[in-house]
A and B are shown apart, each in its own frame.
Chain A
Amino acid sequence: MNKNETAAAETQTAHNPEYLVEIQHERLSFFTPAGEVKALNDVSLYVREGEVLGIVGESGSGKSVTAYSIMGLTAYPGRLIGGDLWFNNHYINTMTEKQMRKIRGNEVSIIFQDPMTSLNPVYTIGDQIREVILLHTNKTKQQANDRARELLSLVGINEPDKRLKQYPHELSGGMRQRVMIAIALACEPKLLIADEPTTALDVTIQAQILELMMDLKKKLGMAIILITHDLGVVAGTCDRIAVMYAGKVVESGPTDDIFYHPAHEYTKGLLQSIPNLNEQEHKRLIPIEGSPVDMLNPPAGCPFAPRCRSCMKICLNRPPEYTHLTDAHFSACWLLDKAKFEAQGEEKN
């Protein structure tokens, strides 16, 4: 940590050194011609070393924006306007672009959704893997080439020598995603951000890629942030889950708690609205009514209130605070405080 970072970190609220990633009260807005879009509205989350955190949410809920901001990859016209971000004891808020470049690809890497467009079509696979290695290590070209070959076999690509000379268009979607993973893992990062890594792939290829990622996690011990909208994918892979809705983490907890004891009405709604392949008889789906939030004019209270089946008066006016159900499981919903309100009401009477 340099002087600049140390000084800034001292003025901040305490960062728990146990956490590899810690985000506290992050606010991030996109200043568009149509107005300020509050993409993130008080997001807090953490990732421990070697842990898999799933971030689930609909498009526009802010899941990618949150993860990208850890890497300092907020696209124009977006701006961080509040909150504190730590990654691997770096205080991200005050880091310069030069400092960020040192940790990107080295300590933290990313796999994007679309393997068709995230590789450069005019460079060979080998060039693109070697680039990362040469940039972040002192290896010679020959050593980098050996490492690239090793990485390709690590991600399960046969004939690595032949593949190194090929261009992205010569590979299938699943293969390209494997190459992306190889590039991301080139410097053995402590954190891998996987942004919808399997959404563009077929189910049988998705199963291969997820299996590969979990295998590599065991071998290399990195932490993973898995961004997805597929509840099935997180159920099979994640230790903990954060459910996001309209720029807020509405519920977070261990995977089993989220699936078997969901506390937020949005999480409950999501779980009821997807058909289960193992169901023995036809049950009508229970959809979440209404449309996603208009982020230019978000509701004043709980963002989910307009679509919530159990919406109360307070939900429309005041955003709910987090209620801790267990140490790790918490949710922002006024219903969880209902018992408390009723008790208070009785006292007054």
Chain B
Amino acid sequence: MEQTKLVEVQHLQQFFPVSGGSLMEKKVVKAVDDVSFFINKGETLGLVGESGCGKTTTGRTLLRLHEPTDGKIFYAGKDITHVNMLPYRRKMQIVFQDPYASLDPRMTVGDIVGEAIDIHHLAKSSKERQDRIIELLSLVGLNSEHANRYPHEFSGGQRQRVGIARALAVNPEFIVCDEPISALDVSIQAQVVNMFEDLQEQMGLTYLFIAHNLSVVKHISNRIGVMYLGKLVELADSYELTFHSVHPYTRSLISAIPIADPKVNRAAHRIVLQGDVPSPVNPPSGCRFRTRCPYADKCCAESEPEWKEVSPGHFAACHHLDRVK
């Protein structure tokens, strides 16, 4: 595969103001704090982490659905941090988490998919528009009669297919998949995962796949980034990350995942983390994971760990990489 960077973010920061507190102080939530990564053309980058770690915000900021506080976003080599996004919306799309909330209940499925075609003037006649809608629906495993129905007539899995058809309507090159399967039933999840893989192969798509389920992310991704409290803590090839992770948080995350195999489960040595994720309004000093980390010491409280390349293509931010065994 040719290794050209399609999307890149450098030192991306996204802070949100929070209300409350005294009048004088302005508090912010550092939802994304100094995150850098790139995605090659045709590859899938997975982003995992617990709720509130900033993975969704990263995905949305990357599409400039939020204006980034600081940092740079590049698309195909061009800096798009401050440009008019309209031409780029044709290339970069998103599939949302909740297929119940992300489709307008008063529009037919045909119009939901057709809206993007209208906005970008992709059809010359209504006949062409209709043909394109049917083509898109069949691409995601729905048929032409579905075009005249409303979202409430569909099951969760089918709605998510509509959401994907809508994203594909403008022939994008890059899609942010924001927890696209977590609202679906187990038996339906595999259908949608396979569809993402098929579409990628057919159309050469590039994905940023955001989810909290590491098993699914590992299945679909080439590389995986792990986030904790607004920071990337580790990034590596998906197999490297699953089997040879170096960051203590990644390790506990992996060991906490229940495996659907009773014997493996019984034999597994669980690292059960103590405590809860601290509030992002007031994150711990130094390394943000130190309050729950079994290796934490004084040095972790004093300075933030550097983002280091441990082995080719494998990055991590931790002071005690040599001690983590």
* A residues whose Cβ falls under 8 Å from a Cβ of B: 58-59, 172, 174-175, 202-208, 210-211, 229-233, 235-236, 255-256, 259-260, 269-271, 273-280, 282, 284-289, 291-292
Q: Which of A175, A206, A236, A273 contacts B186 (CB 8 A)?
A: A273
| Residue pair B194, A285 in contact (C-beta under 8 Å) | yes
In the complex, what's the smallest C-beta–C-beta distance from A322 to chain B, in angstroms? 22
- Binary flags per residue of B203-225, CB closer than 8 Å to A gives 1, else 0: 00000000010111011000000
B216 and chain A: residue at smallest CB distance: A275
In the A-B complex, the 3 residue pairs with the smallest Cβ-Cβ separation, listed nearest first, are A232-B258, A287-B190, A275-B219
Please report the C-alpha to C-alpha distance between residue A285 and residue B264 in the assembled complex, in whole angstroms. 20
Please report the C-alpha to C-alpha distance between residue A236 and residue B314 in the assembled complex, in whole angstroms. 31
Stretch at the interface among B5-13, B58-66, B249-257: B249-257
| Residue pair B190, A232 in contact (C-beta under 8 Å) | no
Please report the C-alpha to C-alpha distance between residue A32 and residue B216 in the assembled complex, in whole angstroms. 37
In the complex, what's the smallest C-beta–C-beta distance from B29 to chain A, in angstroms? 16
Asked whether A287 and B215 contact (CB < 8 A) given A232-B260, A271-B260, A277-B242, the answer is no
* B residues whose Cβ falls under 8 Å from a Cβ of A: 50-51, 155, 157-158, 185-191, 193-194, 197, 212, 214-216, 218-219, 239, 242, 252-266, 268, 270, 272-274, 276-277
| Residue pair A236, B266 in contact (C-beta under 8 Å) | yes
| Residue pair A203, B212 in contact (C-beta under 8 Å) | yes
Asked whether A291 and B157 contact (CB < 8 A) given A208-B272, A273-B189, the answer is yes
| Residue pair B262, A256 in contact (C-beta under 8 Å) | yes
| Residue pair A284, B194 in contact (C-beta under 8 Å) | yes
Please report the C-alpha to C-alpha distance between residue A270 and residue B185 in the assembled complex, in whole angstroms. 11
B268 and chain A: residue at smallest CB distance: A236
A241 and chain B: residue at smallest CB distance: B262
Q: For B216, what are the chain A residues with a Cβ–Cβ distance below 8 Å?
A: 275
19 contacts between A and B (CB under 8 A): A172-B276, A203-B212, A210-B258, A211-B272, A230-B186, A232-B258, A235-B258, A235-B265, A260-B262, A273-B187, A273-B189, A275-B216, A277-B214, A277-B218, A277-B257, A285-B193, A285-B194, A286-B190, A291-B158
| Residue pair A229, B185 in contact (C-beta under 8 Å) | yes
Please report the C-alpha to C-alpha distance between residue A204 and residue B261 in the assembled complex, in whole angstroms. 19
Q: For B252, what are the chain A residues with a Cβ–Cβ distance below 8 Å?
A: 204
Q: Which of A203, A279, A285 contacts B190 (CB 8 A)?
A: A285
Q: For A203, what are the chain B residues with a Cβ–Cβ distance below 8 Å?
A: 50, 212, 214, 253, 256-257
Q: For A202, what are the chain B residues with a Cβ–Cβ distance below 8 Å?
A: 50-51, 212, 277
Q: For A270, what are the chain B residues with a Cβ–Cβ distance below 8 Å?
A: 186-187
B238 and chain A: residue at smallest CB distance: A282
In the complex, what's the smallest C-beta–C-beta distance from A111 to chain B, in angstroms? 18
In the complex, what's the smallest C-beta–C-beta distance from A57 to chain B, in angstroms? 9
Interface contacts beyond A236-B266, A278-B264: sample of 18 additional A-B pairs, CB < 8 Å, sorted by A: A202-B51, A203-B214, A203-B256, A203-B257, A232-B258, A232-B265, A235-B259, A255-B262, A256-B263, A269-B187, A274-B186, A275-B215, A276-B260, A277-B257, A277-B259, A284-B194, A287-B189, A287-B191
Q: Which of A172, A260, A280, A288 contacts B187 (CB 8 A)?
A: A288
Q: For B219, what are the chain A residues with a Cβ–Cβ distance below 8 Å?
A: 275, 279, 282, 285
A172 and chain B: residue at smallest CB distance: B276
Q: For A236, what are the chain B residues with a Cβ–Cβ distance below 8 Å?
A: 258-259, 262, 265-266, 268
| Residue pair A278, B187 in contact (C-beta under 8 Å) | no
B219 and chain A: residue at smallest CB distance: A275
Task: Identify the interface centre among A211, A260, A274, A277: most chain B CB within 10 Å of its CB.
Answer: A277
Q: For A277, what are the chain B residues with a Cβ–Cβ distance below 8 Å?
A: 214-215, 218, 242, 254, 257, 259
| Residue pair B261, A276 in contact (C-beta under 8 Å) | yes
In the complex, what's the smallest C-beta–C-beta distance from A115 to chain B, in angstroms? 13
Please report the C-alpha to C-alpha distance between residue A236 and residue B212 in the assembled complex, in whole angstroms. 20
In the complex, what's the smallest C-beta–C-beta distance from A257 to chain B, in angstroms? 10
Please report the C-alpha to C-alpha distance between residue A211 and residue B268 in the assembled complex, in whole angstroms. 13
Q: Which of B51, B185, B261, B274 contacts A292 (CB 8 A)?
A: B185
Q: For B266, what are the chain A residues with a Cβ–Cβ distance below 8 Å?
A: 236
In the complex, what's the smallest C-beta–C-beta distance from A243 to chain B, in angstroms? 11
Q: For A259, what are the chain B residues with a Cβ–Cβ distance below 8 Å?
A: 260-262
Q: For B270, what are the chain A residues with a Cβ–Cβ distance below 8 Å?
A: 207, 211
Task: Identify the interface centre among B50, B155, B276: most chain A CB within 10 Å of its CB.
Answer: B276
In the complex, what's the smallest C-beta–C-beta distance from B164 to chain A, in angstroms? 15
| Residue pair B158, A174 in contact (C-beta under 8 Å) | no
| Residue pair B185, A58 in contact (C-beta under 8 Å) | yes
| Residue pair B50, A204 in contact (C-beta under 8 Å) | yes
| Residue pair A276, B215 in contact (C-beta under 8 Å) | yes
| Residue pair B276, A58 in contact (C-beta under 8 Å) | no
| Residue pair A235, B256 in contact (C-beta under 8 Å) | no
B217 and chain A: residue at smallest CB distance: A275
A198 and chain B: residue at smallest CB distance: B258
Asked whether A274 and B272 contact (CB < 8 A) given A59-B185, A236-B258, A282-B219, the answer is no
| Residue pair B194, A274 in contact (C-beta under 8 Å) | no
Q: Which of B50, B239, B262, B272 contacts A280 (CB 8 A)?
A: B239
In the complex, what's the smallest C-beta–C-beta distance from B175 to chain A, in angstroms? 19
Q: For B256, what are the chain A residues with a Cβ–Cβ distance below 8 Å?
A: 203-204, 206-207
Q: For A286, what are the chain B residues with a Cβ–Cβ distance below 8 Å?
A: 190
Please report the C-alpha to C-alpha distance between residue A273 and residue B277 in the assembled complex, in whole angstroms. 31
In the complex, what's the smallest C-beta–C-beta distance from B301 to chain A, in angstroms? 21
Q: For A230, what are the chain B residues with a Cβ–Cβ distance below 8 Å?
A: 186, 258
Q: For A235, what are the chain B residues with a Cβ–Cβ distance below 8 Å?
A: 258-262, 265
| Residue pair A205, B190 in contact (C-beta under 8 Å) | no
Please report the C-alpha to C-alpha distance between residue A288 and residue B194 in the assembled complex, in whole angstroms. 11
| Residue pair A292, B187 in contact (C-beta under 8 Å) | yes
| Residue pair B254, A289 in contact (C-beta under 8 Å) | no
Please report the C-alpha to C-alpha distance between residue A260 and residue B186 in the assembled complex, in whole angstroms. 19
Please report the C-alpha to C-alpha distance between residue A202 and residue B253 in the assembled complex, in whole angstroms. 10
In the complex, what's the smallest C-beta–C-beta distance from A170 to chain B, in angstroms? 12
